[in-house]
Amino acid sequence: MAIVVTGASRGIGRATALELASRGHALSLVGRPSSALDRAAVDARSRGVAVNVVPCDLCDPDAIGGAARRIESESGVPEAIVHNAGIVHRQSIEETTDASWDEQLAVNLRAPFQLTRALLPSMKAVNAGRLVYVGSISSTLGSKNAAAYCASKWGLVGFMKSVAEDLSETGLMAMAILPGSVDTEMLEGSGFSARMSAEDVAKTIAYFAVLAPRSHNGGVVEMFGT
């Protein structure tokens, strides 16, 4: 078994992969092929755990299906899935093209749905597992020049809550974590100052992915920082 982390090449995803590896958990890292993703895998393996890199363009539904099959064949039924991958294009409404809108919703909302749908049957079969959806404080409020991003993150929380209802009579759990201003590349151009580190968020994700009681099913944890 392994914990699946999407978007592990940088920021919160990378910090989460290293935090989980430090706690002894094998990993399946899902994302577009890159030297950054490879470095994250090397650094995670240096913690003494098995790490499977699963190349996948999360905008491509066929690629997501193939990634899910590879995860199950090479690493077994996921112990947990951390749906972390996300993108933002900081644009006004007038500047936002259909392509930009579609890409942000594809990565931030459609991909978590498709990966959940693909991996949930095997997790239900063993009646165990956790699904952690990484949203944003933008899941609860609007942000200037980020309409598509906010729409996708609001949608992600609604999706998670429906998943949680589906899981209420099982041994599985779904919940969401909503970080505020995190010291990562994604914060650039937002106009906000960093109020927490990626490692702060990673420790929170690791707790809910591994240790938290299943009674947190359907829960939303907001992180406002200090």
SS3 96: coil
User: Could you read off the pLDDT of 133-157 as tens digits, one per residue?
Assistant: 999 988 888 888 999 999 999 999 9
DSSP characters over 48-75 = T--EEEEE--TT-HHHHHHHHHHHHHHH
Distance CA 192, CA 141 (A): 14
- Give, as one character, the DSSP assignment of residue 143: -
**Strands across the sheet containing 51-55:** 51-55, 27-31, 3-6, 80-83, 129-134, 172-179, 220-223
User: Could you read off the pLDDT of 39-94 as tens digits, one per residue?
Assistant: 999 999 999 999 999 999 999 999 999 999 999 999 999 999 999 999 999 999 99
Catalytic residue among 101, 133, 149, 208: 149
Please confirm, yes or no, whether 207 is among the known catalytic residues: no
Contacts of residue 215, Cβ cutoff 8 Å, sequence gap at least 6: none
Domains of the chain (ranges; CATH) run: 3-223 (3.40.50.720)
SS3 21: helix
Confidence (pTM): 0.95
Cβ–Cβ under 8 Å, residues 165 and 218: yes
User: Could you read off the pLDDT of 189-200 as tens digits, one per residue?
Assistant: 766 777 789 999
Cβ–Cβ under 8 Å, residues 149 and 138: yes
Query: How confident is the model over 9-17, as a mean pLDDT?
Result: 96
Distance CA 155, CA 59 (A): 17
